[in-house]
Structure 1
Amino acid sequence: MRVSSRAHLAGFQKATAAAQYLRMTRRPVPALILSLCFPAVVSNLVTTAYNLTDTYFIGRLGTAQSGAIGIAFSIMTVMQAFGFFFGNGSGNSMSRELGKQHNDRAARLLAVGLAGAVLAGLTIALLGLVTLPRLVFVLGSTPTIAPYAISYLTPVLCAAPMVCGSFALNGLLRYEGQSVFGMIGLVTGALLNFLLAPLFIFILHMGIFGAGLATAVCQTISFVILVTLSARLGVIRLDLRRCRPDALLNREILGGGLPSLIRQSAGSFAATCVNLAANPFGDAVIASMAIVMRVMLGANSVIIGLGQGFQPVCGYNYGAGRFDRVRRGYWFCVRLATATLLALAVGIGVFAPDLVELFRSDPAVVKVGSAALRIQCVTMALGGFNMMSNMMQQTMGKTVIASFLALSRLGLFLAPAVLILPHVFGVTGVEMAQSVSDVLTFVVTIPLQRRVLMGLRSGRITRH
């Protein structure tokens, strides 16, 4: 009976994989991307909701507590970095293998990706908990902020294996073309967080520790849901017995995931640089920039979701040799992303003070935060071209170019800008650093992306 049940499940998933291949390589590209990007956008907004929920409720506690969220942001970004590294590293290759209809190898990539993410999270948890009292100061904390940062991060670090695993599985399901399952897992956790955060913070009087505990509990629940959905309903069945890495498979994961790891690690480094640059100006500036980073993350999550809807289409069709569909999908996403960012920039610019005051009503925080938001809105629309180009090259396995572009925006340009400009312009230098980085990234992306697009048009490009 058990053997029959397994055979039935295997047959069901084989038929599902065949149907998914036809869908990804035959359905009209714009409609296909839109159907895939909606769950991805929702998933990203949910991830942002985790952050904004804590920012909102903790903002009711005080300015120092709000500043603690800015310090914690760097650690959370590292967890995302390793989750994305294994999720995108395995997922990029997995989608190409599915496009070639090599389903057994795709199943191995799925198992190795999840196992690697969980082990990475366990390492982060152990190292973070041991060094936490010193680590918060390295990340830019002031003596008044440090105790709150430690209280918030302690339960979050305990849940790091589940956090990394959730980000990885969300990506892996998305590369299968099953982004709706990732949405279900993350939305469930977010809704619980909206309930648990105020319960723990205010009703049970746990303060900022309660906010961290709520996040840890909800991320764990999301992880359990995602594992269950992947094991039972994924295009390829999650089976950890297939976790058999070899040198070639590890190289594929490294190549596919390195741009994500660089992008997220650079984001953590840039956030730390922002905290260090804001540190001399006091807790209010640190708190305001923490709020600005969360608001901009929410806006960018919409565009990242669009790109994530494009990535499985890109991977399947690149693997299948349908380069015309890859190019068509890319330009559709660039146009849609640019228009969306322009609309968001206008809305954020107009309501900047209200957005900041929503999280913290301190006049000093509102003044700095609203100015920073408006400056960043000026160049926000450039992110559509920058982001889609980077994600396309990553999915195609162009590791060197994708890694360079991932490092450029937050590492090569933003980090130096945020450390240099404040010495010239004071607080305004902190506020304008992101816009300077956006412009420079746009300039270097144009020639690199043009070369790849010409290769796709002529057909003189190799599949991995």
Structure 2
Amino acid sequence: MAEENKMGVMPINKLLITMSLPIMISMLVQALYNIVDSMFVAQINEDALTAVSLAFPIQNLMIAVATGTGVGINALLSRSLGEKNRKQASAAANNGVFLAIMSWVAFLVIGMLFSRPFFIMQNAGERITEYGITYMTICCSLSFGIFLQITFERILQATGRTFYSMISQLTGAIVNIILDPIFIFGLFGAPKLGVAGAAIATVFGQMSAMTLAMFFNHKINHDIDLHFRSFRPSLNIIVKIYRVGIPSIIMASISSVMTFGMNQILLTFTKTSAAFFGVYIKLQSFVYMPVFGLNNGLVPIVSYNYGAQNRKRILKSIKLATTYAIGIMIFGTVLFECAPKVLLGIFNPSEEMIRIGVPGLRIIATHFILASVSIVLSTVFQALNQSSFSLIISVARQLFVLLPVAYFMSKTGNINFVWLSYPIAEIVSLVICLGFFKKIYDEKIKHIPDGATC
């Protein structure tokens, strides 16, 4: 099939750009949406911005489950196509959709039953708590859009149709950006819903992207068979998906734990500190999202060529991805170091946020370039069915280094020292990452033939 041959014979640089660029563009728009969303929420008041920031760990957990499962689907599907096993590839896609629906059911329960306890335990004040409960309940209860969107987009990506994945993501983000001010501020006759409006705009955008991704798979994706009328879950396929997916889910979920922990540390200074941390997460997504998009394009290339046993193409794709990721992170570092006040100005900041945020952004950004190498190599581990390595790195970085260092530094009473936890954690992460890559190279890649094409 043409898409299979493309990943096996197209020149790697052209292939990586072809596979990654549409995803990078769509993720940049998604990052832009994150920034615009918080920008509109900040116009309500700083408490609203803080509430959305405190809800982020749960939103991140949803995305972790969706994208982690998607990584498992993507790796199994691409590897199956590389092995010319169309039946298993189709089974991966169908069972992936089933898992997306089950994930939504789980978060429906979380949203309805646990939104209030989650915000009460953070003790951030009555108004922030009420804002947060409203926002989290809506986002969780109607989260079927995000789960099915990501699943159908990963199926498109795994079969080489990243352009259509880009279109669906762009559509969702644009719908979200358009609806945000309409629902938040009550424009064009719509009710003025405030924080609830931001949540409603979010889920509407996700549903729009989901619908389009489903349509593209039905009409254009002929490498797999999506049939649900006679579908029965396959425990064997689900185990294969989650063998890669669960470590990815846990790895991404750790970020939720880290964010929650950092919020609690920062709330001991001021509520504005937690609001700034939420702003930083949205701003850093503008730098990180293109790298993640690059990695989404890298996964099927490495998986396919590992299935096809072509060492030269595996290594060249890794080297090119690392080079591009470093370039992106250099740009991000320069942006954060040279224009922190301009970046913060997007969010209607108070003088206190400017005081905290300008040095904060400059200190945190020192870890970006180091992070680029770790992110690419962690993606390679996932593509080669060694997600446990990525999991160990993520746990070590965020739970064993970043949070303890941040807590220890907070005891100095100087919030600027708290931000040093980021570069310190990234140095540790990179050292572990390079050690694991040597191990996986020696055991899985070194003895593979070069192959005829590159």
* C-alpha contact (below 8 Å) 1:39/1:180 kept by paired residues: yes
| Counterpart in the other structure of 1:143 | 126
Q: Secondary structure at the match of 1:145?
A: helix
1:305-360: CA deviation from partner (whole Å, max 9, x where unpaired): 11111111111111111121011100111112112211220122111111012113
The amino acid across from 1:25 in the alignment is: G
Pick closer, same or farther for the CA change 1:220–1:141 going to 2, 3 Å.
farther
Q: Distance in 2 between matches of 1:232 and 1:173?
A: 12
Give ranges in structure 2 of 5+ residues lacking alignment. 450-454
Q: Distance in 2 between matches of 1:111 and 1:261?
A: 19
| Counterpart in the other structure of 1:218 | 205
| Counterpart in the other structure of 2:219 | 232
Q: Quick one: which of 290, 299, 309 aligns to 2:297? A: 309
Once the two structures are TM-superposed, the CA of residue 244 in structure 1 deviates from its matched residue by 3.6
Q: Does 1:260 align with 2:248?
A: yes
Map 1:79-94 onto structure 2 (within 5 A). 79-94=62-77
Q: Does 1:192 align with 2:169?
A: no
Matched length: 444
| Counterpart in the other structure of 1:157 | 140
Q: Does 1:452 align with 2:440?
A: yes
* C-alpha contact (below 8 Å) 2:311/2:446 kept by paired residues: no
Q: Does 1:37 align with 2:37?
A: no
* C-alpha contact (below 8 Å) 1:353/1:367 kept by paired residues: no
| Counterpart in the other structure of 1:62 | 45
| Counterpart in the other structure of 2:431 | 443
Pick closer, same or farther for the CA change 1:121–1:29 going to 2, 3 Å.
same
* C-alpha contact (below 8 Å) 2:287/2:328 kept by paired residues: no
| Counterpart in the other structure of 2:152 | 169
Once the two structures are TM-superposed, the CA of residue 258 in structure 1 deviates from its matched residue by 2.1
Greater CA drift, 420-429 or 149-158:
420-429
Q: Secondary structure at the match of 1:60?
A: helix
1:91-114: CA deviation from partner (whole Å, max 9, x where unpaired): 111110010110111001001112
The amino acid across from 1:295 in the alignment is: L
Once the two structures are TM-superposed, the CA of residue 270 in structure 1 deviates from its matched residue by 0.8
* C-alpha contact (below 8 Å) 2:39/2:347 kept by paired residues: yes
Give ranges in structure 1 of 5+ residues lacking alignment. 1-17
* C-alpha contact (below 8 Å) 2:95/2:234 kept by paired residues: no
* C-alpha contact (below 8 Å) 1:71/1:141 kept by paired residues: no
1:132-154: CA deviation from partner (whole Å, max 9, x where unpaired): 11112345644341111122222
* C-alpha contact (below 8 Å) 2:22/2:165 kept by paired residues: yes
| Counterpart in the other structure of 1:417 | 405
Pick closer, same or farther for the CA change 1:185–1:134 going to 2, 3 Å.
same
Q: Does 1:359 align with 2:347?
A: yes
| Counterpart in the other structure of 2:452 | none
Once the two structures are TM-superposed, the CA of residue 282 in structure 1 deviates from its matched residue by 1.9
User: Normalising to structure 2: TM-score of the pair?
Assistant: 0.93
Once the two structures are TM-superposed, the CA of residue 207 in structure 1 deviates from its matched residue by 1.0
Map 1:235-314 onto structure 2 (within 5 A). 235-241=223-229, 243-314=231-302
Q: Distance in 2 between matches of 1:247 and 1:82?
A: 18
Q: Distance in 2 between matches of 1:106 and 1:289?
A: 41
* C-alpha contact (below 8 Å) 1:422/1:429 kept by paired residues: yes
* C-alpha contact (below 8 Å) 2:69/2:246 kept by paired residues: no
Q: Secondary structure at the match of 2:346?
A: helix
Q: Does 1:375 align with 2:358?
A: no
* C-alpha contact (below 8 Å) 2:110/2:140 kept by paired residues: no
| Counterpart in the other structure of 1:52 | 35
Once the two structures are TM-superposed, the CA of residue 373 in structure 1 deviates from its matched residue by 1.2
Map 1:389-408 onto structure 2 (within 5 A). 389-408=377-396
Q: Distance in 2 between matches of 1:35 and 1:168?
A: 20
* C-alpha contact (below 8 Å) 1:136/1:150 kept by paired residues: yes
The amino acid across from 2:49 in the alignment is: S
